[in-house]
Amino acid sequence: DVKVTQSSRYLVKRTGEKVFLECVQDMDHENMFWYRQDPGLGLRLIYFSYDVKMKEKGDIPEGYSVSREKKERFSLILESASTNQTSMYLCASRGIYEQYFGPGTRLTVT
Amino acid sequence: AQSVAQPEDQVNVAEGNPLTVKCTYSVSGNPYLFWYVQYPNRGLQFLLKYITGDNLVKGSYGFEAEFNKSQTSFHLKKPSALVSDSALYFCAVILYNNNDMRFGAGTRLTVKP
């Protein structure tokens, strides 16, 4: 079975802190994705990566950056956390068609 | 804009009754369509997909979906709902460039005993 893991299930940070969310997949997938999920808005794509060191902006990249130094790991970085970044963050990797999701990180910024 | 829409925020059904969760799409070219389910405080789980071939696709947990090109729809169905089917359901489509999966806003399904 494909496994996508995220470093934390719950995270509480203060405004202005730098936040790292880590995602690891074990299926040698090339494509990896970061989404945020908010009630009534579904999943919105923040960034995706189709290869090591490659990245593409999604719909809402502002306030975020990403890093893909190794194929299995895709990190989301909040350079200076703000309260409007309180959300559920979901990482995914893609096989041929379907995407496989991690369990999510619920981030609260106070 | 190329996207997918779920017209119902909430669907309520009684246990044992058939259920339908609606999805319509708007894409250029041939769509690749998906359904995912999310249980509380969990990530999304893949249910089924339509890529090509038979318009009726069967997936996990007894779910199925019918691709209807003329109505640009991909509704999720199950003949007999279970209380354990209560969850948030997302429809998704891969765009023509195959690097971007777009999701609907989600439909919360509640199955009452």
Q: Please determine, for residue A11, whether its predicted confidence score (pLDDT) is greater than 90.
A: yes
Q: Please determine, for residue B1, whether its predicted confidence score (pLDDT) is greater than 60.
A: no
Q: How far apart are the first and last CA of chain B?
A: 40
Cα–Cα distance for residue pair B5/A81, rounded to 1 Å: 31
CATH number for the domain spanning B61: value is 2.60.40.10
Span B21-42, pLDDT tens digits: 999 998 877 889 999 999 987 8
Average pLDDT, stretch B43-69?
93
Domain containing B64 equals: 3-112
**What residues of chain B lie within 8 A of the CB of A97, using their CB?**
32, 34, 49, 51, 94
- Chain A contact for B42, CB < 8 A? yes
**What residues of chain A lie within 8 A of the CB of B9, using their CB?**
40
- Chain A contact for B43, CB < 8 A? yes
Q: Domain map of chain A by residue range?
A: 4-104
Cα–Cα distance for residue pair A28/A25, rounded to 1 Å: 7
Count of structural domains within chain B: 1
CATH class of A4-104: mainly beta
Which of B45, B92, B105 shows the shortest C-beta gap to A41?
B105
Per the CB < 8 A criterion, the answer to whether B89 and B8 are in contact is no
Cα–Cα distance for residue pair A22/B73, rounded to 1 Å: 36
Span B58-111, pLDDT tens digits: 999 999 999 999 999 999 999 999 999 999 999 999 876 666 788 999 999 999
- Chain B contact for A62, CB < 8 A? no
